[in-house]
Amino acid sequence: MVKLFCVIVGVKGSAFPVNIDTTKSVCVGDLKDAITAKNASALKNVDADQLRLLLAKETDGEWLSSGLKIVKKQKKGEKTAYIEALTAEENELQADHFLEVIFVKKNSPTAWLHPRTDQAT
């Protein structure tokens, strides 16, 4: 079991954990389903396939930590140019990518999600 921490970009206090069973092959699409199930009320107008999942990784390849100023701003719901760059479309995880490749082998406990529509905010 792996615990992934997710954040809805631009939404104050939106950090939450999602537990993923690593004994099975799980893809990003499965994670999207788990996220929408866990946050049915916050994402009530957003289908799983509308979520954009992104790694919480700096441009130099380092994982973001909760103590960084940009992360603290994100937790308050603030969007910065840096966060906008991190959430660029080319950084989006694809639904058919497997989590064991993305997270377990890269030792990442963190992901960000960004709804494709403004309906979730």
Q: What is the mean pLDDT of residues 25-30?
A: 88
CATH (domain of 26): 3.10.20.90
pLDDT at 1 over 90: no
Give residue 107's pLDDT. 53
- Give pLDDT, residue 117: 40
Q: If you search the block for the tokens 């529509």, which residue do you land on?
A: 117
Window from 36-40, 68-72, 88-92, 105-109 with minimum mean pLDDT: 105-109
Number of folded domains that form the chain: 1
| Identity of the residue numbered 115 | P
The string of DSSP codes covering 50-81 is GEEEEE-B-TTSPBP-TTSHHHHHHHTT---H
Q: Give the mean pLDDT of 41-47.
A: 86
Band of pLDDT at residue 29, cut at 50, 70 and 90:
very high
Residue whose entry in the numeric block shows the structure tokens 């970009």: 9
Q: pLDDT confidence of 105, banded at 50, 70, 90? A: low
The CA distance from 69 to 75, in Å, is 10
Q: Reduced to 3 states, what is the DSSP secondary structure of residue 17? A: strand
- pTM here is 0.72
Greatest CA span in the chain, whole angstroms?
Answer: 38
Residue numbers of the domain that contains 86: 2-120
Q: Which two tokens stand for residue 97?
A: 């990518």
For the chain, how far is it from start to end, CA to CA, in angstroms? 29
